Amino acid sequence: MATIKDIAKEVGLSITTVSRALNDYYDVSPKTKKRVKEVAEALNYSPNHIARSLVMKKTKTIGLLVSDLMREGVKDNFTFEVLTGINKCAGDLGYDLVLFSTSSDKQKEKTYTQLCRERRVDGVIISGIKTSDRYLTEVVTSDIPCVLIDIPVNSNSVGFVTTDNVLGAMKAVQHLIELGHTEIAFMNGHDFAYVSKKRLEGYLSALEKAGLPIHNEWIVNGSFLDSTAEKVAYELLQNNPEITAIFCASDLMALGVIKAATKLNIKVPEDLSIVGYDDILLASYVTPSLTTISQDKYQMGYQAAELLISMLKDNTTPHQRLLNTHLVIRESTSLHNKQ
């Protein structure tokens, strides 16, 4: 098996220069790097990752930490799409990816730093964490670089990737208003999610901008679950028949609302228009197909990994990225029949 010494002999350079070229140090010219890597490939050189990590104190491995990874999450596919984006970017940039999960009980037993040290990761991407999770406080004070998905925390070692949730929610409600709806309810997630707060803000802003009254009793939580949203929506619609539209903070909850409406013999969209958020795969297959606010989950993952790796290489890079959303109009919304 070829070694760095063999490469150095072939290209006529020192072992130190060859090592720095293979590891993309800035003080080695692009021409030299190209020549060294060509020879390394010709000699079938394979780096000793364990030895390199001991010398450089880096493993070229990043972690994806997911909070409360549960089977129910299969329905919305959010974590998988984020994971796919992270994995692609990590591979493109020569990093390995480790997936590990946490829960409230695990967080009591092991600190965030201990978890990361045990997994030997250079940095971490965190998805699905609640604002009440103790790890969130630890992340800010830790020296381990971290990128949060959908929680805007920014420090020397922490960055974040999210979409413009306020604007996204406003797009959803404005769409309903443009269809003639004035009695619009809101099915939110829960109080410990940053996106819940921002989507509520967008919902309220859109109503205020249109001069429509705000009914606090029409703002309910479905815990981002279709089963919970179905139960809550059933009671909401039964007690408030004047509601003609509901904006849901996730597609999964919107599916639950559709089920509730069906049980109450309320036709969607003839009697009730529904808008979701996320544009999950099921949104286009359910009947009626779901009008929703689309966010690119794959790109969120890719951008999170790209941001983290750039932070590992150069901590002066901006530590936040805000992605756009767009309205996807399908069959679950229609003009309001005012008769």
Residue 116 has pLDDT above 60, yes or no: yes
Which of 80-84, 111-115, 215-219, 222-226 is predicted least confidently? 111-115
* Class of domain 165-295 as given by CATH: alpha beta
Domain edges within the chain: 61-163+297-323, 165-295
Rounded mean pLDDT of 194-203? 97
Rounded to whole angstroms, how far apart are CA atoms 196 and 37?
A: 49
pLDDT for residue 260: 98
Residue type for position 210: A
pLDDT for residue 316: 67
Rounded mean pLDDT of 230-254? 98
Pairing of strands 291-294, 245-248: unpaired
The model's pTM is 0.81
Rounded to whole angstroms, how far apart are CA atoms 251 and 258?
A: 10
Rounded to whole angstroms, how far apart are CA atoms 155 and 307?
A: 13
Residue type for position 249: A
Helix-helix angle 4-11:30-42, to 10 degrees:
120
Contact 152, 195 (CB under 8 A): no
Cα–Cα separations (whole angstroms), residue 140 to 124, 136, 183: 12, 7, 42
Of the candidates 247, 251, 220, the one whose C-alpha atom is nearest the C-alpha of residue 234 is 220
Which of 33-42, 70-79, 135-144 is predicted least confidently? 70-79
Three-state SS for 301? Answer: helix
pLDDT for residue 135: 85
Rounded to whole angstroms, how far apart are CA atoms 208 and 191?
A: 22
Contact 278, 292 (CB under 8 A): yes
Of the candidates 146, 68, 159, the one whose C-alpha atom is nearest the C-alpha of residue 112 is 146
If one counts every other C-beta atom within 10 angstroms of the C-beta of residue 318, the result is: 10
Mean model confidence pLDDT for the chain: 89
pLDDT for residue 1: 67
Rounded mean pLDDT of 63-83? 77
- Common-topology check for domains 61-163+297-323 and 165-295: yes
Q: What does CATH list as the number for 61-163+297-323?
A: 3.40.50.2300
Residue type for position 291: T
Of the candidates 281, 255, 310, the one whose C-alpha atom is nearest the C-alpha of residue 80 is 281
Give the percent of the chain with pLDDT over 90: 63
Contact 62, 119 (CB under 8 A): no
pLDDT for residue 100: 84
Pairing of strands 326-328, 291-294: antiparallel
What pLDDT, in 10s, does the model give residues 155-169?
Answer: 888 999 999 999 999
What pLDDT, in 10s, does the model give residues 131-187?
Answer: 888 888 888 888 899 999 999 988 888 999 999 999 999 999 999 999 999 999 999
Residue 211 has pLDDT above 50, yes or no: yes
Q: Which two three-digit tokens encode residue 321?
A: 């990225």
Rounded to whole angstroms, how far apart are CA atoms 296 and 184?
A: 26
Q: Which two three-digit tokens encode residue 231?
A: 């139960």
What pLDDT, in 10s, does the model give residues 286-336?
Answer: 999 999 999 999 999 999 999 999 999 876 677 899 999 999 999 999 999
